[in-house]
Chain A
């Protein structure tokens, strides 16, 4: 036990403020995000991640959002185990035809109001896989999409930027584009 405590004390908290990653604006976005989530989502934004057919690269980087460096939960954002608990779906693709029904069912199980973010180049336009006998390509070919975050895969920082940009209803940051489908 002593060695655990020593290690914890020595490493300390490595969670970084938003500042070192980017500019003044991102720091402001972080503060604003907190404010928006406090006001509009009662201090808590629940995200359900859905892999609709990805190569698992995007999942690795979404996972990284929860590591101590990015610590997404500090903004009041957390990943939930069921779409029924979710405000927002973070969907990676392309949508395989074998996942078409499951993705739609997950979408329908998410209570209104809900938002959909398509994560990764494949989710945006089909990427390397495109549309074929096995793939439907972009997420928006199956469910409505509010925001897209391209990248193969998008880095945790790009994901964070995309999320902040979406929630604060700002114009998109570099590396993200925004498209309101509905």
Chain B
């Protein structure tokens, strides 16, 4: 069987049109038909044509979905960018030879590329020519500006000094007006939450501008993945962002399984689907309660945190881990679901649906709650599209992306995934999308349980061929996760790049908070709920 549903005719037509337009401009495209970079297809272009392809793809309304570099040794770098249209992925690739390690920036055509290019610049030392914002991003003060941790010549241990100084001197946007005051927040926040810095420019209570400064939890995930075996990389992937442990582990395993050409057992696909939907439900339940709590409606927090806790205890009972960590492993899943567990899960789905039916009208008819949620934190469709927003952040603004529907990967090809899209773009819409996704996920789990026929759940992963590579694409609860893996000559991982959806959703927060009052920032932030760890890597 194939992991991926066949490419749509619409995508093929789109690729053909893009090729035609580019060739008319004299762009030389080399197809890498022999590549194992499934499910994407791969185009090799020259660095000079790198931006022209992006501009043309932008004109043809592609979505920019990520960029990763790779050190091939002897100073040679390889850059790959992912463009998505109609569910199909086109990977654009080019090689950089020293001494000219520069590449025209994609960020003018696709603002989504802004921070990923800055991340790549900090870690590889590539200069993105014409980038609209050449400030450092992931680098604070832990390594020197002229050293680049993801070059192979840079040791994983680095050259640390005993004390890393604070990141003072980062040039934030400032105002010279005496009417405008600055509010610095973080990196250590008031709640039980990850660290990051926010710099507000405010006039009275109104937010004039918000600038995020992230990178505080940069843990060198990409570097420390080098040299690991597949099992170890899956464990690391499961800790890129703890709340998305299933989705990240799945994406990494999918990339490795693609690279070695293994198709996992059918039951393992279905179990992965169940685990992933359970992760979605757990996070949505917790966040719906927390969003209501942020506007002083603790009733909802009490109810939804209760439902989440019951859900997590069920996870522990049926799969052995409350957050489902380390269950998705290369070749399948590490823990099967028993027959009694499957039956108990069915009962719990019915019970949760009944609770949701009862709570929904309470939320919808509470005027003081709706008064705070409706029209707060508005994100327009244009902005969502330009930033490439993913998951519920995009879908609540009418920017509809969902891999499970656009190009289903197993097991989503055999279930019905309802479209949950709204157009209002405010906090209420993001909450509403997540509420409806709870129902959608319950229905998906039911369908997968119906198909959970007995069988093996784990296949052996053969040793990877030299330089084998693959990408994994998974619709996590925050949105699409893209994982790239390349093996070295010894069956170990030479390059791992997990692109969390938060990378595209964090910039949306800067935009949607404009004109809101400072006290509504926690509400706006929670309604997006970007992962700091998944972003910072």
Q: What residues make up the interface of A, taking CB atoms closer than 8 Å to B?
A: 3-4, 7-8, 11, 14, 49-64, 66-69, 79, 81-83, 94, 96-102, 105-106, 127-135, 152-153, 155
Contact A57:B242 (CB < 8 A) given known A101-B165, A133-B149, A133-B160 = yes
Tell me whether B215 and A133 are in contact (CB under 8 A): no
Query: In the complex, what residues of A have CB within 8 A of residue B156's CB?
Result: 132-133
Tell me whether A96 and B325 are in contact (CB under 8 A): no
Within the assembled complex, what's the spacing in Å between the Cα atoms of A52 and B189?
11
Tell me whether B188 and A50 are in contact (CB under 8 A): yes
20 contacts between A and B (CB under 8 A): A3-B361, A3-B362, A51-B193, A57-B239, A60-B286, A61-B323, A64-B309, A68-B305, A69-B309, A96-B219, A97-B164, A98-B140, A98-B215, A98-B216, A99-B217, A128-B235, A132-B219, A132-B220, A133-B156, A133-B159
Within the assembled complex, what's the spacing in Å between the Cα atoms of A75 and B245?
32
A129 interface neighbour in B140, B224, B322, B532, Cβ under 8 Å: B224
Tell me whether A54 and B243 are in contact (CB under 8 A): no
Tell me whether B533 and A55 are in contact (CB under 8 A): yes
Within the assembled complex, what's the spacing in Å between the Cα atoms of A14 and B302?
10
Query: In the complex, what residues of A have CB within 8 A of residue B143's CB?
Result: 133
Q: For chain B residues 112-169, which have a beta carbon within 8 Å of chain A?
A: 140-143, 149, 154-160, 163-167
Query: In the complex, what residues of B have CB within 8 A of residue A54's CB?
Result: 194, 217, 242, 533
Tell me whether A53 and B219 are in contact (CB under 8 A): yes
Chain A contact residues: helix, strand, loop or mixed: mixed
A82 to B: closest C-beta gap in Å: 7
- B100 in the interface, Cβ–Cβ < 8 Å? no
Tell me whether B305 and A67 are in contact (CB under 8 A): yes
Tell me whether B243 and A133 are in contact (CB under 8 A): no
- B52 in the interface, Cβ–Cβ < 8 Å? no
**Given A96-B219, A101-B163, A127-B239, 4 other A-B residues pairs in contact with their CB atoms under 8 A:** A63-B192, A68-B309, A129-B219, A132-B224
B191 interface neighbour in A68, A81, A97, Cβ under 8 Å: A81
B160 to A: closest C-beta gap in Å: 6
Tell me whether A60 and B242 are in contact (CB under 8 A): yes
Query: In the complex, what residues of B have CB within 8 A of residue A105's CB?
Result: 166, 188
A139 to B: closest C-beta gap in Å: 14
Query: In the complex, what residues of A have CB within 8 A of residue B221's CB?
Result: 129
**Chain A residue with the shortest CB-CB distance to B139:** A98
Query: In the complex, what residues of A have CB within 8 A of residue B157's CB?
Result: 131-133
Within the assembled complex, what's the spacing in Å between the Cα atoms of A106 and B366?
39
Q: Which among B166, B235, B236, B316 has the highest number of chain A CB atoms within 10 Å? A: B166
A56 to B: closest C-beta gap in Å: 5
Chain B 208-226, CB-CB to A under 8 Å as 1, else 0, gives 0000000111111101100
Contact A101:B166 (CB < 8 A) given known A57-B239, A133-B154, A134-B219 = yes
A102 to B: closest C-beta gap in Å: 5
Query: In the complex, what residues of B have CB within 8 A of residue A97's CB?
Result: 140, 142, 160, 164
Query: In the complex, what residues of B have CB within 8 A of residue A66's CB?
Result: 305
- B443 in the interface, Cβ–Cβ < 8 Å? no
Tell me whether A56 and B306 are in contact (CB under 8 A): no
Within the assembled complex, what's the spacing in Å between the Cα atoms of A4 and B474?
38
Tell me whether B216 and A133 are in contact (CB under 8 A): no
Q: Which among A52, A55, A79, A130 has the highest number of chain B CB atoms within 10 Å? A: A55
Q: Which among B191, B216, B219, B531 has the highest number of chain A CB atoms within 10 Å? A: B219
B43 to A: closest C-beta gap in Å: 33
- B346 in the interface, Cβ–Cβ < 8 Å? no
- B312 in the interface, Cβ–Cβ < 8 Å? yes
- B241 in the interface, Cβ–Cβ < 8 Å? yes
Within the assembled complex, what's the spacing in Å between the Cα atoms of A60 and B309?
11
The 4 closest A-B pairs by CB, nearest first: A133-B158, A57-B242, A134-B220, A81-B190
Within the assembled complex, what's the spacing in Å between the Cα atoms of A66 and B532?
22
Chain B 180-205, CB-CB to A under 8 Å as 1, else 0, gives 00000001101111110000000000
Query: In the complex, what residues of A have CB within 8 A of residue B243's CB?
Result: 56-57, 60
B360 to A: closest C-beta gap in Å: 11
Query: In the complex, what residues of A have CB within 8 A of residue B155's CB?
Result: 133
Query: In the complex, what residues of B have CB within 8 A of residue A83's CB?
Result: 188
- B339 in the interface, Cβ–Cβ < 8 Å? no
Chain B contact residues: helix, strand, loop or mixed: loop
Within the assembled complex, what's the spacing in Å between the Cα atoms of A106 and B195?
12
Tell me whether A56 and B533 are in contact (CB under 8 A): yes
A21 to B: closest C-beta gap in Å: 11
Tell me whether A133 and B194 are in contact (CB under 8 A): no
- B172 in the interface, Cβ–Cβ < 8 Å? no
Within the assembled complex, what's the spacing in Å between the Cα atoms of A54 and B188?
13
Tell me whether B190 and A56 are in contact (CB under 8 A): no
Tell me whether B218 and A96 are in contact (CB under 8 A): yes
A135 interface neighbour in B191, B220, B240, Cβ under 8 Å: B220
Query: In the complex, what residues of B have CB within 8 A of residue A130's CB?
Result: 224
Tell me whether B242 and A134 are in contact (CB under 8 A): no
Tell me whether A55 and B242 are in contact (CB under 8 A): yes
Tell me whether A102 and B187 are in contact (CB under 8 A): yes
**Chain B residue with the shortest CB-CB distance to A142:** B163
Query: In the complex, what residues of A have CB within 8 A of residue B193's CB?
Result: 51, 59
Tell me whether A134 and B149 are in contact (CB under 8 A): yes
**Chain B residue with the shortest CB-CB distance to A106:** B188
Tell me whether A101 and B164 are in contact (CB under 8 A): yes
Query: In the complex, what residues of B have CB within 8 A of residue A133's CB?
Result: 142-143, 149, 154-160, 220, 223
Within the assembled complex, what's the spacing in Å between the Cα atoms of A58 and B354?
30
B42 to A: closest C-beta gap in Å: 30
**Chain B residue with the shortest CB-CB distance to A63:** B192
Tell me whether B325 and A57 are in contact (CB under 8 A): yes
Chain B 224-264, CB-CB to A under 8 Å as 1, else 0, gives 10000000000110011111010000000000000000000
Tell me whether B242 and A99 are in contact (CB under 8 A): no
A55 interface neighbour in B240, B286, B305, Cβ under 8 Å: B240
**Chain A residue with the shortest CB-CB distance to B537:** A134
Query: In the complex, what residues of B have CB within 8 A of residue A55's CB?
Result: 239-242, 533
Within the assembled complex, what's the spacing in Å between the Cα atoms of A50 and B163?
19
Contact A102:B166 (CB < 8 A) given known A49-B192, A56-B531, A57-B239 = yes
Query: In the complex, what residues of B have CB within 8 A of residue A57's CB?
Result: 239, 242-243, 245, 323, 325
Within the assembled complex, what's the spacing in Å between the Cα atoms of A176 and B445?
36
Q: Which among B165, B218, B316 has the highest number of chain A CB atoms within 10 Å? A: B218
Within the assembled complex, what's the spacing in Å between the Cα atoms of A81 and B189?
8
Tell me whether A56 and B163 are in contact (CB under 8 A): no
Within the assembled complex, what's the spacing in Å between the Cα atoms of A153 and B316?
13
Tell me whether B219 and A94 are in contact (CB under 8 A): yes
Query: In the complex, what residues of B have CB within 8 A of residue A132's CB?
Result: 156-158, 219-220, 223-224
